[in-house]
Amino acid sequence: MNHLAPRSQWLAITFLAAIIFALLLARFYQKQSPRSAIQPSPVVVSVEGAVKEPGVYLLEGPEVTVSRAIELAGGLRNGSSKAVPEDFALRNIGNGQMVQVVSSGQGPVEIRMETMAAAARLTLGGKLNVNTSSEEDLMLVPQMKSGFAVAIVNRRNSKPWQSLDKLEEIPGVGPRTIEKWRSYLKVNESE
């Protein structure tokens, strides 16, 4: 009686072992080589509209501009990079922003800078601003009840939130809930 595994299982085991070995080797070399400079965090942006390949893109390095984002999206559908207005071409873009390219077919395109949808920002690890997000957007946050979202929006209409800790003013919201929300909420754009 033959107790050996079939050849396909041995190939799968060997392949898995090779992957694990490669990951361990890469991790070893990362620890051995000192980082010469702190690298800036990559920026996630959405490029939509009159581009060849609309979608979500990761921009790294010193050039985190509208032109670079459009370039990553395959360029403009009409093919002319000169159609991008100069005031937008070199504008820096931040994490969670959307570049909307609108073309009339002639002349320069119109560029609109917007914030990505709340669900997309949360999925990508971004945070929602309690001073600007809608009730519907706030409801995307785990453990956010409808009454909490309404209370956040109502309170900010009379007095903007200065810190997440102040959310304790809402009946039923305590320190543990706020700690859970810190991964999803912020009070200003610099967070």
Instruction: Sort residue 56 into left (φ over 0), alpha (ψ -120 to 50) or beta.
Output: beta
Percentage of residues in the chain with pLDDT exceeding 70? 87
Mention every residue, 6+ apart, whose C-beta is less than 8 A from residue 134: 118, 153
Q: For 111-139, what is the mean pLDDT?
A: 90
The answer to whether 75 and 100 have CB atoms below 8 angstroms apart is no
Q: Render pLDDT for 96-122 as a digit per residue (tens, 0 to 9).
A: 889 999 887 777 788 898 888 888 888
| Fold (CATH) for 119-186 | DNA polymerase; domain 1 (1.10.150)
Q: Where are the domains of the chain?
A: 1-34, 43-116, 119-186
Quickly state the pLDDT bin for 179 (edges 50, 70, 90).
Answer: very high
Kindly state the DSSP code that residue 166 receives in the 8-state scheme. G
**Rounded distance between C-alpha atoms, residue 84 and residue 61, angstroms:** 21
Q: How far apart are CA 131 and CA 54, in angstroms?
A: 30
